[in-house]
Structure 1
Amino acid sequence: MTARGSLWIPLLVLLLLAALSFWIERSVQTLPGGNATGETDPEGIMENFDALRTDQTGRPQYRLSAKKLRHYTGSKRTELESPHFVLLEPDSSEISATSRLATVSPDGNEVDLRGDVKILRAAGAGQPALTMQTARLIVFPERKL
C-alpha cells in the first residue's frame, strides 16, 4: 500500500501545477483587438500640440490644438484635453470651437467635443460676430461642418 501511496503524490502535484498554469494563462490572456490592461494605458501621449491641415494646394483648411492628446492602439481612438478647433476658410470669417474634452474618430473625420463647448465666429464680410455655448458638438472637419 505504501508503494501505491507514493505514486499518487507526484500525480497530485502534477495535476495541481496543470490547474495553476491554466488559471494563470486565463487571467493574463489578452482580448482580440485589446491589450492585457484593458486599454487603460495610452500608446502615445503628446502635450501642447498644434496640427494644421492643408488642402492639395497648401492652403490651410483647419487647425486642431490641445493641451494633451492620448492615442489608444486597440480601439484606435484619440482623446484630447482642452481642444481648440479652428476652421480656416479664406472666403469667410474664422470659426473656432473649444471644450474640456474631445474624441477623434479613428479615421479623423469626426471630432466629438464635450464639456463646456464654446463656438465663436469672428465678424466680417457683412456678418456679425457670433458666440454659442453647448454641452456637446460634433465637428466633421472634411465636410466643413
Structure 2
Amino acid sequence: MNYRAAFWFPIGLLAALAGLSLWLQYAVQAPSTGGPGGSKHIADYIVENFHATRTDITGKTENTLSAHKTQHFLDDDTTELEAPDFTAFDKQGGSVNIRSARGYVSSKGDVIIFTGKVVLVRDLHDAQGPLTLTTDYLKVIPKQHLMLTNRPALIQGKNIVIHAGALQMNSQTRELLLTHHVKTHYEPNH
C-alpha cells in the first residue's frame, strides 16, 4: 500500500497544481468588454503633441486640429483627444477657435465632438469684434462648416450677452441660429 500512495501522491499534487494554475489564469484575466465578438476598447496607438492641418486644393489652410494626447481605438475606429484645439478659417480672413477638455473624432474623421468646458471664439476681424461661446458639448462637422449643440450655451460679444438652449453656427457664412429659451441682453453704444 505504501507503494501505491507514493505513486499517486505526486500525480495528485501535479493535477492540483495544474487546476490551480488554470483557475489563476482565468481569475487574473480582465473581463471582455464589448459586443458579441468580445473585442476590447483598447488604444492601438497613442500620439502626444498631435497636430494636423487640412488644406484646400490650392494649399490654403481650411482648419487645424491639435491635442496634448490622441488615442486611436481599433474596435470602433474612433479617436479620443485630450485638450483638443480646433481652428477653422473662413474666406473673409476670420477664424473660429474651439478648445475643450476632451474631444472625439468619428471613424471617418467627418465629425469632431468637444466635451467638458467648451470655449469657442469667433474672431470676425470686423466691427462686430470677437464672439465667445461657452457650453459643455459641441459637435463640429468641418466639411459643412457647421458647429452645433443641443445643450445650454452662453454667447458673449461686443455689447451683447445671449443665453440659448441650443444653437447652430456656420463658420463660413457667419450665421448663428439660436433656439430653445433664448434670452438676450443688448447694450447699444452711446
TM-score between the two structures when normalised by the length of structure 2: 0.59
Question: Match of 1:97?
Answer: 98
Instruction: Give the aligned length.
Output: 139
Aligned-pair distance for 1:142?
Answer: 2.7
Unmatched 5+ stretches in structure 1: none
Matches within 5 A, 1:18-57: 18-26=18-26, 27-28=28-29, 31=32, 32-34=38-40, 39=42, 43-47=45-49, 49-57=50-58
Change (3 A) 1:29 1:137: closer
Matches within 5 A, 1:120-135: 120-124=121-125, 129-135=130-136
SS at match of 1:4: helix
Aligned-pair distance for 1:62?
Answer: 0.9
Aligned-pair distance for 1:73?
Answer: 4.0
Distance 1:120 1:129 in 2: 7
Q: After superposition, what is the alpha-carbon deviation per residue over 1:26-46, rounded to whole angstroms, capped at 9, x for unaligned?
A: 234785533xxx74x773231
Q: Is 1:3 aligned to residue 3 of structure 2?
A: yes
Aligned-residue identity in percent? 29
SS at match of 1:86: strand
Change (3 A) 1:20 1:72: farther
Aligned-pair distance for 1:53?
Answer: 0.9
Aligned-pair distance for 1:9?
Answer: 0.7
Unmatched 5+ stretches in structure 2: 33-37, 147-190
What amino acid is the match of 1:7? F
Q: Give the number of the structure with larger relative contact order, counting CA–CA contacts within 8 Å between residues 6 or more apart.
A: 1
Higher helix residue share: 1
Determine if contact 2:69/2:83 at 8 Å carries over to the other structure.
no
- C-alpha RMSD over aligned residues: 2.9
Higher strand residue share: 2
SS at match of 2:108: coil
Mean Cα deviation higher: 71-80 or 83-92 = 71-80
Distance 1:30 1:45 in 2: 27
Q: After superposition, what is the alpha-carbon deviation per residue over 1:43-89, rounded to whole angstroms, capped at 9, x for unaligned?
A: 32312x331112344332211122x1231444444332322111122
TM-score between the two structures when normalised by the length of structure 1: 0.74
